Structure 1
Amino acid sequence: MAGHSAPGFHPHLPGFKHQFLAKALGATMWFFIFYRAREDGPKLLGLRHPWEGHGHGHGHHEEGEEHH
């Protein structure tokens, strides 16, 4: 039997579009993971309390400032 391959599952290789999409989605996933680790990492590791905020200055008022 010339040209007959071995029995079993023989998947075809993915095309260029699928390879590009897989790399783009994988990169997006890792960028998101690293972004969240930068934002929430200290809280998850116990280095900062969750109620301390993100350091943007919200909720801090100077003396003499009127509250409406």
Structure 2
Amino acid sequence: MAGPANSSGFHPHLPGRGYNFMAKALGATMWFFIFYRAREDGPKLLGLRHPWEGHGHGHGEHDEHH
């Protein structure tokens, strides 16, 4: 049995609204960043594309003009 309802065990206080908001905001920011990096670097990380293959910055055109 867990004991009587009036036991003098550990009773933590609930966090305030500010802490709840900050925890959710920081958690959402973390997941948005993780998904953004997965979109940018996912194929390279999984071996589907090499890091040096066509990153789309147009440096090839710039070199041809010189």
- Shorter-chain TM range is 0.7 to 0.9
Distance 1:56 1:43 in 2: 17
**How much has 1:53 moved relative to structure 2?**
4.6
Q: What SS does the aligned partner of 1:52 have?
A: coil
| TM-score of the superposed pair, with normalisation by structure 2 | 0.78
Q: How many residues align?
A: 62
Q: Which runs of 5+ in 2 are unaligned?
A: none
Across the aligned residues of Structure 1 and Structure 2, the Cα RMSD in angstroms comes to: 2.2
Q: How do 1:7-18 and structure 2 match up within 5 A?
A: 7-18=8-19
Identity across the alignment (%): 75
Distance 2:7 2:41 in 1: 52
2:25 is equivalent to residue 24 of structure 1: yes
Letter matched to residue 43 of structure 2: P
With over 3 angstroms needed to count, the CA separation of the structure-2 counterparts of 1:6 and 1:42, relative to structure 1, is same
Letter matched to residue 46 of structure 2: L
Query: Any idea what the Cα deviations from partners look like across 1:7-52, whole Å, max 9, x if unmatched?
Result: 3221100110000000000000000000000000000011110112
Higher normalized helix content (fraction of residues): 2
2:35 is equivalent to residue 34 of structure 1: yes
Distance 1:48 1:55 in 2: 13
Q: What SS does the aligned partner of 1:41 have?
A: helix
